[in-house]
Amino acid sequence: MADTKQVDEAKDTKAAKAAAKAERRAARLAKQIGAFAKAHGGAEAQVAYIGERGSRIVLVGEDGGWGDLVAPTHAIAEEAVRKAGVTVHEDFDGKFAAKVRTGPYEWSRMAGIQVGGPANSNT
């Protein structure tokens, strides 16, 4: 009987450590989101699952500035945006996407050689 108790206690300890680690990660992400929001006059977010890597938090500031963060799990990403207190969109729809302001660098990287951007190869 004692062996079972020790195994259960070890599992409980491991689960508690994992929960604490997830909480710390969510708090760090929330702090980064808050800093972004402060620098851009506020922010809105969208959380997207990206597979084994976790979830991507796309941030769009009130000034049109944008950025993203990656959380190791979808639950941590959702907890981070909740802690940061930003508006979260279900989709990156047209109205939300229209708030993004891009510069020449982004346009050249997105378009590549099709519209005179930097070549993607050394030919």
pLDDT of res. 108: 74
- In the structure, what pLDDT confidence band is assigned to residue 10 with cuts at 50, 70 and 90? low
8 A C-beta contact, residue 114 and residue 107: no
Higher local confidence (pLDDT), 86 or 115: 86
Output the pTM of the full model.
0.76
pLDDT of res. 84: 97
pLDDT tens track for 51-62: 988 999 999 999
Higher local confidence (pLDDT), 53 or 39: 39
DSSP alpha helix (H) spans, 40-123: 74-84, 94-97, 104-111
- In the structure, what pLDDT confidence band is assigned to residue 118 with cuts at 50, 70 and 90? low
Amino acid at 15: A
Q: What is the pLDDT of the chain when averaged over all its residues?
A: 85
